[in-house]
């Protein structure tokens, strides 16, 4: 799917999805860690009926694979966030809309009213701006807030710098050549509505100005307490990267955390989330639900993370490759490929349900 996506989208778009920070070491380490997962294989078990359902924040999903928030999704394919949410709704999964999304909370609620919608949030420099975005989420039936905490400042993404990534795209000389090579992508983009950060529609600020407003380097644990006072639904903290921080946020009354290094797109020498998963689950798993994201690229990756204790995994690049390759149908294909791998893996290790997967005695090889 990634190879097809690369053929169908301009280099600036593909590189935004495929790339990460600085030397792209953190993402490579995460991929390598998933490749080292080893699950115990039990034989002579009746696996004629496999149940992949799981409870996430008290409600059942058909598969513990959720859609992570990703910015600029209409840049990848003109169908955008609504297409991903629609696949999530049809398959009884969860979709998290990004603050940097190109579809607004109201638009998503109208287009896909039956979906389980979470909203990803940053604590902004002006708390009134944060409240305005929270209000949009609340008024449009979003179930949970996903507070991202690993972005006090933007990461250094050199691929994007070299490519001159802007939203909306600026017409430069190399852009003209890109249009000539990918005419269908550009035609779809420029005939399906203005590309913008939809949650901030009407703010009339440049990308750099918005980034300066959104990322607040003074955010602390106290802001989570403040957020709990203005939002009465579940709060998920995304971007936890060590056990002590996991313990600290668990004490603040949040419902879940996502172990995440932002897919390697922020700090390029940070820890690998998968390698601390078991320790974090042991420390806080009875207080909060623990999810993981970053480098989950197959059903077996997801199965391994669940076996190591994660309640669910979140995918980002995987479904973006799908949408770039084939629109909504591509997202659907990605889920079905991962589901098939997940179910096949469960059968081959002798597990009939998710609880049995978690007691499978999985490990990460040295």
Q: What structural domains and CATH numbers belong to the chain? A: 2-360 (3.20.20.70)
The pLDDT score that the predictor gives to residue 245 is 98
The pLDDT score that the predictor gives to residue 170 is 62
Q: How confident is the model at residue 176 (pLDDT cuts 50, 70, 90)?
A: low
Average confidence (pLDDT) over 32-57 = 97
Q: How confident is the model at residue 120 (pLDDT cuts 50, 70, 90)?
A: very high
Q: Is the peptide bond before 168 cis (omega within 30 degrees of 0)?
A: yes
Q: What is the pTM of this model?
A: 0.94
Please give the Cα distance from 24 to 47 (Å, whole number). 40
pLDDT of 203 strictly over 90 = no
Structure tokens at 329: 């149908």
The pLDDT score that the predictor gives to residue 164 is 79
Q: How confident is the model at residue 32 (pLDDT cuts 50, 70, 90)?
A: very high
pLDDT of 180 strictly over 80 = no
pLDDT of 48 strictly over 80 = yes
Sign of CA dihedral 273, 247, 224, 228: positive
Q: Let me know: does 242 contact 271? Beta carbons within 8 Å.
A: yes
Lowest mean pLDDT among 22-31, 105-114, 149-158, 352-361: 149-158
Residue with tokens 């050199």: 158
Q: How confident is the model at residue 83 (pLDDT cuts 50, 70, 90)?
A: very high
Please give the Cα distance from 312 to 79 (Å, whole number). 26
Q: Let me know: does 99 contact 132? Beta carbons within 8 Å.
A: no
Q: How confident is the model at residue 162 (pLDDT cuts 50, 70, 90)?
A: confident
Q: Which of 276, 287, 291, 210 is nearest to 251 (CA)?
A: 287
Residue with tokens 């002590």: 244
Lowest mean pLDDT among 65-69, 205-209, 311-315: 205-209
What are the CA-CA distances from residue 18 to residues 15, 28, 66, 107 (Å)?
A: 5, 11, 19, 27
Q: What is the mean pLDDT of the chain?
A: 92
Q: How confident is the model at residue 187 (pLDDT cuts 50, 70, 90)?
A: confident
The pLDDT score that the predictor gives to residue 205 is 60
Average confidence (pLDDT) over 13-42 = 96
Q: Let me know: does 318 contact 65? Beta carbons within 8 Å.
A: no
Please give the Cα distance from 330 to 281 (Å, whole number). 33
pLDDT of 146 strictly over 90 = yes
Q: Which residues are known to be catalytic?
A: 262
The pLDDT score that the predictor gives to residue 92 is 98
pLDDT in tens, 298-345: 999 999 999 999 999 999 999 999 999 999 999 999 999 999 999 999
pLDDT in tens, 228-254: 999 999 999 999 999 999 999 999 999
Please give the Cα distance from 295 to 25 (Å, whole number). 12
What are the CA-CA distances from residue 295 to residues 11, 94, 301, 335 (Å)?
A: 21, 18, 8, 15
Q: Let me know: does 44 contact 50? Beta carbons within 8 Å.
A: no
Q: Let me know: does 177 contact 10? Beta carbons within 8 Å.
A: no
Exposure string of 240-253, with b = 16+ CB inside 10 Å and e = fewer, is: bbeeebbeebbeee
The pLDDT score that the predictor gives to residue 215 is 81
Q: Which residue has the higher pLDDT, 166 or 343?
A: 343
Report the relative pairing of strands 54-56 and 59-61 from DSSP bridges.
antiparallel
């Amino acid at each position: 799917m990634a190879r097809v996506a690369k053929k169908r989208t301009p280099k600036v778009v593909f590189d935004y999805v495929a790339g990460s920070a600085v030397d792209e070491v953190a993402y490579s380490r995460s991929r390598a860690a998933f490749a080292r997962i080893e699950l115990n294989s039990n034989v002579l078990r009746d696996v004629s009926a496999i149940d992949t359902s799981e409870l996430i924040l008290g409600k059942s999903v058909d598969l513990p694979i959720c859609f992570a928030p990703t910015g600029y999704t209409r840049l990848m394919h003109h169908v955008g966030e609504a297409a991903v949410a629609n696949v999530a709704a049809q398959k009884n999964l969860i979709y998290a809309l990004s603050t940097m999304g190109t579809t607004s909370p109201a638009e998503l609620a109208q287009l896909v009213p039956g979906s389980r919608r979470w909203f990803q949030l940053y604590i902004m420099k002006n708390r009134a701006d944060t409240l305005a975005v929270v209000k949009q989420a609340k008024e449009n039936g979003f179930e949970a807030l996903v507070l991202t905490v690993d972005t006090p400042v933007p990461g250094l993404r050199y691929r994007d710098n070299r490519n001159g990534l802007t939203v909306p795209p600026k017409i430069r000389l190399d852009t003209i050549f890109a249009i000539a090579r990918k005419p269908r992508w550009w035609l779809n983009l420029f005939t399906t509505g203005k590309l913008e950060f939809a949650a901030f529609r009407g703010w009339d600020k440049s990308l750099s100005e918005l980034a300066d407003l959104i990322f607040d380097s003074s955010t602390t644990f106290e802001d989570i307490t403040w957020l709990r006072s203005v939002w009465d639904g579940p709060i998920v903290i995304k971007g936890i990267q060590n056990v002590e921080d996991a313990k600290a946020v668990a004490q603040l009354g949040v419902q879940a955390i996502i172990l995440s290094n932002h897919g390697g797109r922020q700090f390029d020498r940070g820890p690998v989330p998968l390698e601390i998963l078991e320790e974090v689950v042991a420390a806080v798993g009875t207080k909060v639900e623990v999810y993981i994201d970053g480098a989950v690229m197959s059903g077996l990756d997801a199965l391994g993370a669940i076996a190591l204790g994660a309640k669910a995994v979140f995918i980002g690049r995987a479904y973006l490759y799908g949408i770039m390759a084939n629109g909504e149908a591509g997202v659907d294909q990605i889920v079905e490929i991962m589901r098939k791998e997940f179910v096949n893996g469960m059968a081959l290790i002798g597990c009939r349900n998710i609880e049995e997967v978690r007691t499978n005695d999985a490990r990460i090889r040295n």
